[in-house]
Amino acid sequence: MRILITGGAGFIGSNLAKELEKVYPKAKVWVLDDFSSGHFKNLIGFKGEVITGDLSDQSLWEYLKKKIKFDVVFHQGAITDTTVMDQARMMRVNADSLRYILDCVLHWQAKLIYASSAGVYGNSPSPMKEGEGEVPENPYGFSKLMMDRIAMNFLAENPHIQVVGLRYFNVYGPGESFKGKSASMIYQLYRQMKEGKRPRLFKWGEQRRDFVYIKDVVKANLLALEKNISGIFNIATGQARSFNEIVSILNQALGTNLEPDYFDCPYDFYQNYTQADISKAAQLLGYEPKFSLEDGIRDYLKYL
């Protein structure tokens, strides 16, 4: 099996690359990344090859189309900074690139598993369900919704090609530190509290998120590979937890008693409450999250 992982030097891509090599030791794995937000240190221990390139460079995909025949593509590469307001750049990198990838997938007769996002739902009521309330609040969320539309239109015309979109909710875990300000709130709060600083939260820390641990996300990708299926699926825990709860869990784990430092939220597009309906993923993928927020943070702290 020949596997290509775009964004493979990034947070999710690098975790996925290493797990695929472990689960499928005879497979050949290639990573494609432009290293704008990915980092070589995420690939220490990875045994495959790295291709350096820009997702939005059509000539790169024309080259790969002729050079290597892949059996499966895990498309994790994207601009993941939700505060980027350059709409054209966001659409070129996130949405338009998918058309080039789908053209290659059709040529190779390969399977595509790609990263979508809970950002497509914006501030729609929870629990968020595939096909409902898809009203993004920012260019990032819109670009991911357009990816889903492009993928499903392709699938309608090419039903013999398997295409799976995974709408990740708030992913956290080892390998995210190189994302900087785009790293999860769990990582950000840990760093602040580890240094003895009061954890900084938007007023009043009761915003809630469906936090999902990286190991559950990687497992979801493997299930998508193993199942003979196409479609779009929420990948989360199905539970919404507040930022205040994260601070409480970290205080307990670190043996600290730091009170939050609350300040005004500067964003008018902020998602205040995300919670996924994961029944479709459970039924069709066999996906079941193994890590609660407490278990995930406990496991994460071993790495940190």
pLDDT tens-digit map of 226-274: 999 999 999 999 999 999 999 999 999 999 999 999 999 888 777 789 9
How many domains in the chain? 2
Mean pLDDT, range 269-297, rounded to an integer: 95
Is 117 inside any structural domain?
yes
pLDDT at 179: 86
Does 155 share its domain with 190?
A: no
d(CA 138, CA 143): 9
Is 285 inside any structural domain?
no
Does 146 share its domain with 249?
A: no
Rounded to 5 degrees, what are φ and ψ at 242?
-85, 160
Does 112 share its domain with 219?
A: yes
Does 131 share its domain with 227?
A: yes
Residue partners of 125: CB distance under 8 A and separation at least 6: 133
Is 50 inside any structural domain?
yes
Mean pLDDT, range 290-303, rounded to an integer: 97
Residues with a known catalytic role? 140, 179
What is the Cβ-side half-sphere exposure of residue 174, based on CA atoms within 13 angstroms? 18
Question: In the numeric block, which tokens belong to residue 122?
Answer: 């914006």
Strands (E), the chain: 2-6, 28-33, 49-52, 72-75, 111-117, 163-168, 170-172, 200-202, 208-209, 211-213, 231-235, 241-242, 261-263
Residue partners of 198: CB distance under 8 A and separation at least 6: 192, 258, 259, 260, 261
243: closest CA among 172, 191, 189? Answer: 189
Q: What is the CATH number of the domain that holds 104?
A: 3.40.50.720
Does 6 share its domain with 93?
A: yes
Is 152 inside any structural domain?
yes
Report the b/e string of 107-141 with b at 16+ CB within 10 A.
Answer: ebebbbbbbbbbbbbbebebbbbbeeebebbbbbb
Q: What is the CATH number of the domain that holds 296?
A: 3.90.25.10
Angle at 285 between CA 108 and CA 134, to 5 degrees: 85
Does 64 share its domain with 114?
A: yes
Q: Contact 203/263 with Cβ under 8 angstroms?
A: yes
Is 229 inside any structural domain?
yes
* Confidence (pTM): 0.96
Q: Contact 151/167 with Cβ under 8 angstroms?
A: no
Is 275 inside any structural domain?
no
What is the Cβ-side half-sphere exposure of residue 251, based on CA atoms within 13 angstroms? 13
- Structural domain containing residue 66: 2-170+212-235
* DSSP count for the chain of H helices, then E strands: 10, 13
Is 44 inside any structural domain?
yes
Does 190 share its domain with 83?
A: no
Rounded to 5 degrees, what are φ and ψ at 282?
-65, -45
Tell me what percent of the residues of the chain surpass a pLDDT of 90: 92
Residue partners of 212: CB distance under 8 A and separation at least 6: 168, 169, 170, 171, 172, 235, 236, 237, 289, 291, 296
Does 28 share its domain with 130?
A: yes
Does 70 share its domain with 124?
A: yes
167-226, pLDDT tens digit by residue? 999 999 999 999 888 899 999 999 999 999 999 999 999 999 999 999 999 999 999 999
Does 57 share its domain with 116?
A: yes
Does 148 share its domain with 14?
A: yes
Does 206 share its domain with 218?
A: no
Is 145 inside any structural domain?
yes
